[in-house]
Structure 1
């Protein structure tokens, strides 16, 4: 045990001696409250430094929301304060939500994970262009850290499973390469093979079961409720630190992105997932396993996975350039999760395409240091 951990243990022991048993939990909660306040102060400073208009955060512990914070305003006239009901474009945090719904649909026999991306009648033309493009995760190239990225092999019989696990680049058995464009075509492959529309799959298998009301699955969602009315408009930060209101993307809902939701909504998903309402125990064990990971981490069924100081982390980032960003981080062994949503891109830290490195995010690093250091269980 480190010196800090030893002192912490002594402090808790003294509390146990000095306080009646009924007050020990309250004292421990007070200690945690100091950590929450410290993290909240960090987020407040970070928001100002990064010119983020609206930032909301939720911490989930042991299946319930234990802390939340709404900072800033959701407009450019400073008269609409951000609240915990404020919604955002959650960008690629859509991926684990959509993946969960797709796996549940497969369990019910509504689709098969070995269905081919080529069931989309436009796949052949798309792949022909994509695999020869200058886009690194399409035509190949080098990652931001110099790692070689293989092109998409259109001769392979690429499946839904390949896409959900980011295994569409290179030969069978290659390491993952984050490929959002093939992920975005999952719904087309499902419908091309005779499956239900993705919007119905996600609403029935996730939103309804998790109690996630007033969530918009894209711009054209007829059941989106007040998600668009409460939406924080996106902003683009200029080089001098000033920001200007950005236009909204006209992209609709795909497995890769498109959900408009609040941080509380994502927390509802997190709680329902961990409680077993969304996936079978077999699927949960398969996704959130303790198996040995590659050195650079992995991507599985809609989640990045990596090890950090003896802790297994599962996470997803969201980055809609010039518009929105998000972080969703789970530490299953601690039953601890963090959700952050912002209406500019500055939560994004530039994670490589072929590695999982959330510890390099300044916000995630502060959270991990505060709540998940090796001496915390």
Structure 2
């Protein structure tokens, strides 16, 4: 934890001193090769210092993988080297994949984004419980820096459209990251007579992007080798790695996918090629101007402006088990994907602000590739 805080502080100070417009490293240049080498060294050191057994990473530019690496091992005996086909629980990085599938479902199968969340028979009870709980994104309160979080308003008729952009709290004018509510999306769709979420994601994303051997939860009959290649989860306690139990949660809109860094690279390539989202939807999600400096949450993505660049991203956190990062710089057609089998990649990100530069890994990446 001490290393994580020091590293975050260091890269925040480095980036704070940069000019207002960061310049992208030219594709294929000596600078890019140096950036890749430096980032490789940084990740290897980060893994060792944080005690992470397995880390997989890929960097894409212009829809092509320009660098990929797997560090460490994926079993509890240290005998199975991690590979680029090693799978991880990607946790909340599931959300942009699900949102992409639902956009395609709306365009091809007529899914209505104006369905009320009340189509889920358990929504009213979930909202009531959350709004009275001690969970910050449920009952509201303040983050550690004093930023106020509005409580859920169970009198509002929240729609599927609202939920896909995290507008279940307050009056819905700004986002509050609310993963428990987002997890009800599958129940809303089936409650309104729609198709099973696993089938939607399999057909609208995985089949169209030709992604195989990825598991949409434990019970996915088409999961192939994803569970066989799963890196076992660990936590670091008192400086020692401790093997932890694998979560038995199945696939929901919020989480549940077990996949590799290559699977996510395929998803990113399908996005870049226009296979999954139309230009109009890409404009709406990734390019539309922001209304405030806190950024936004749009259709499964955190979106922000940093040093003159638009960033779109998602983090993944399975406590004491796994963590993930998926970061896009759309106008540079540049992507970073990182998966790990501890929660050390997660950085306690805000519920109401998009600020991926607070992540030490993201800060290093931005410092190297958007100088």
Q: TM-score when scaled to structure 1?
A: 0.90
Equivalent positions of 1:229-240 (< 5 A) are 229-238=228-237, 240=238
**2:219 aligns to what?**
220
CA RMSD of aligned residues (A): 1.6
Aligned length: 349
**1:103 aligns to what?**
103
Residue deviations 1:93-136, cap 9 Å, x none?
Answer: 00000000011101123311111111011111221211111111
Which structure ranks higher in relative contact order (CA pairs < 8 Å, sequence separation ≥ 6)?
2
Equivalent positions of 1:132-211 (< 5 A) are 132-173=132-173, 175-211=174-210
Does residue 352 (structure 1) correspond to residue 320 (structure 2)? The answer is no
Runs of 4+ in 1 over 6 A off after TM superposition: none
CA shift, 1:371, in A, is 0.6
**1:20 aligns to what?**
none
Residue deviations 1:135-166, cap 9 Å, x none?
Answer: 11111111232111111111111111111101
Does residue 65 (structure 1) correspond to residue 62 (structure 2)? The answer is no
SS in 1 for 2:189: helix
Asked if the contact 2:162/2:172 (under 8 Å) is kept, the reply is no
SS in 2 for 1:204: helix
Asked if the contact 1:324/1:345 (under 8 Å) is kept, the reply is yes
Structure 2 distance, partners of 1:226, 1:144, is 42
**1:253 aligns to what?**
251
CA shift, 1:290, in A, is 4.1
Residue deviations 1:164-185, cap 9 Å, x none?
Answer: 1011100142x21100001000
Q: TM-score when scaled to structure 2?
A: 0.91
Asked if the contact 2:87/2:231 (under 8 Å) is kept, the reply is yes
Residue deviations 1:313-351, cap 9 Å, x none?
Answer: 000000111000000000011100000000000001111
Residue deviations 1:48-93, cap 9 Å, x none?
Answer: 0111000000001011111001000112211000000000000000
Residue deviations 1:222-241, cap 9 Å, x none?
Answer: 00000000000110110x22
Asked if the contact 1:110/1:195 (under 8 Å) is kept, the reply is no
Gaps of at least 5 residues in structure 1 are 13-24
CA shift, 1:292, in A, is 3.1
Does residue 242 (structure 1) correspond to residue 253 (structure 2)? The answer is no
**1:307 aligns to what?**
305
**2:270 aligns to what?**
272
Q: Which has the larger radius of gyration?
A: 1
Structure 2 distance, partners of 1:110, 1:53, is 44
